[in-house]
Each structure stands twice: as structure tokens, then as C-alpha cells.
Amino acid sequence: MRRLLLIAAIALPQAAFAADRIVVHAVEVQDQKAVVATVEPVHQLVARARLGGTIVSLKAKEGERAEAGAELATVADPKLVLQMQALDARIESQQAQVDKAKTDLDRVDELLRKGVSAQVQVDAARTAYDVAERNLDAMRGDRSVIAQQMSEGAVLAPGAGRILSVPVSEGRVVMPGETVATLAEDRYILRLQLPERHAQFMRAGDKVQIGSRGLTELTDETRREGRVTTVYPEIQGGRVIADVEVPGLGDYFVGERTLAWVSAGARRVIVVPAAFVFRRAGVNYVKTADGSEVVVQPGERHGDAIEILAGLADGDALVAP
């Protein structure tokens, strides 16, 4: 575990660094743990085939951008074309029956006005005409359903983003609901998977230090700051999962890994200006106010301050060597 001291949190005045005499005190610092974070889209979109059939046109390509509603592929089902042709023939036949039923009704009406026909014949002719019209309307409705199914052969992008994968090819048979393309939204996050012992330290809103791509060390020049947006309440495989929002992740690859430093709890340490620690014969010393030299075990150095792991106590007075 790599520990970083947050110098901004250490209550040592700058004047004390230049003084010849200081009194050391234990201060609280945050332990930082280096973890691997994975770049993930906030939402992963899936374009699916709504119609079963053969892909006759494929426009989606990995890595390209797609706008919302853009046509990614076209699926055609030859059976629908045959059903449409059969329905068109039935509609023409039914239209002829409607025309004949209308002619019969007009003839019976004319005979009724002349007193030759009976009212019962008129009612029978009107019923036959109404039935023929309803059958024609039902056939036209069936044709509209098939036309809608044929129009659903166009596979559209559910949202704007980059195309991650296209697991199909032209000429392939697909089933309804099968994935044609997977897209990643333009907004990306870092996903952390931490050991469950860190669950007590992770909170939404916590700051996370992020390095640049391919970074192995964190410096002030390459440091970027993110913020924890979500800590998932479920531990999976002994891991706590958290999402971190960092501006400017659009140039990363989805699934790319980078180093991040997260809080691993607070502890109290003694920090002194680095100028008060001197080295002789391979051993580190500090000089106390009474003139004696004390062997100390220094920790990591951060700017003008250095952590003392052993050798000093809270309240010790030091003088510059």
C-alpha cells in the first residue's frame, strides 16, 4: 500500500519550516491506497433486432460514432414480402365482393321503391354489404401490421455514442431481440473495485487522486482529482464497487485501466521540516533542544515535510542542525 500525505491537511505554518527551533506535534493525515480503476461508460446501449430475418445491410463499424436514431443495419424477412403479396391479392378479391354487394343492395333498394321486392331482401343485401366491408377493413389492417413489421427491419441506435462491438455480419440470420451493435455513451466514469475492508472508508463525495495514462507515480504536474459519485451497497466477490466521476475521460478507451489513489483511513503521525533531519554514517538524526542527537526513522518525503515513523514523541522540541 502506497501512502500519500496530504500536506494541505498538516497544520504546520510555513514560517516554522524556516525557523531554527520547532516543537513537533502529531497531526492527522489520510492514508492513500493505490488501486487500479477501469474506464466504463455511464450507460452501455444495445441495439437489437426487432425483426427476425437476414441482415441485408450493415452500416455499423467498431470505433465509429453514431447519433441517436441512426440506422445501423437492415434486417429483411422474405416471408413478409410473400405475405404482403398474398394479402394484396386477397384485398383485391374482397374489394370485388364489396363492389358486388353494393350493386346488389342498390338493385334491391330500387326494386323496393317499385314495390317489387320485400324489405327482408333489402335487409339481407345490406347485411351482406356490411360484412364484405368489414372483411375488407380487417384485411387492410393485416396488411398494415405486415408493413409495420417490414419497417421494423431497420435497426436504429438507441442513443448517441461510440460503437464498441458489432457481433454480426451481412447475410447472417438474426432472431428478434438479438444484439446487432453495442454502444457506449459519451460520458465515462472510473469504476473502482476495492477490498471490502475499505467499505467503511468509502463515501459518496470523497475525493480521489487520478494520474495520467500509463502513470506509475503521482506528481503535482500529472495529478487530477475525481469525486466518488456512487458506492454500491453490495459486496461482490469480497470487493466494494464505486464509481468516480473525472472530467475529461473521453480520450480513454472503454475498459482501459489507470491508477487511482483512494482514502484508506486516517492516522496520527509526526511531521517535521526536512531540513531538521540530517544523515551521518547511514543513520538519520534530529537535534533536540537540549543539544542531543536522536536517531529517527523517516518516512516518505513530500515537499518540505517528512514523516517521522519512530524516534520522536508529541511535544519534542527540535533545533536546526
Ordered DSSP codes for 88-125: HHHHHHHHHHHHHHHHHHHHHHHHHHHT-S-HHHHHHH
Q: Which long-range contacts (CB under 8 A, 24 or more apart) does 279-282 make?
A: none
Grade residue 303 by pLDDT with cuts at 50, 70 and 90. low
Q: Is the pLDDT of residue 101 over 80?
A: yes
Contact 54, 168 (CB under 8 A): no
Q: What pLDDT does 180 receive?
A: 93
In the chain, alpha helices (H): 14-18, 78-114, 119-151
Pick the more confident residue, 212 or 228.
Answer: 228
**pLDDT tens-digit map of 33-88:** 778 888 888 888 999 998 888 898 899 888 888 888 899 998 888 888 888 888 88
State how far the Cα of 98 lies from the Cα of 132, in Å rounded to an integer: 5
Give me the chain's average pLDDT, please: 81
pTM (whole model) above 0.75: no
- The three-state DSSP-derived secondary structure of 280-304 is ECCEEEEEECCCCEEECEEEEEECC
Ordered structural domains, the chain, with CATH: 7-42+187-319 (2.40.30.170), 44-74+157-184 (2.40.50.100), 78-151 (1.10.287)
pLDDT of residue 24: 83
Q: Is residue 239 within 8 Å of 231, Cβ to Cβ?
A: no
Q: Are 33 and 57 in contact (CB under 8 A)?
A: no
pLDDT tens for each residue of 154-210: 899 998 888 989 999 888 899 999 999 999 887 888 888 888 777 777 788 888 888
pLDDT band for 17, please (50, 70, 90 cuts).
very low
Return the C-alpha cell found at 134. Answer: 368489414
Percent of the chain with pLDDT over 70: 88
Which residue would you say has higher pLDDT here, 14 or 89? 89
Q: What are phi and psi of 48, to 5 degrees?
A: -115, 155
Instruction: Decide if pLDDT at 236 tops 90.
Output: no
Alpha carbon distance 320, 291 (integer Å): 10
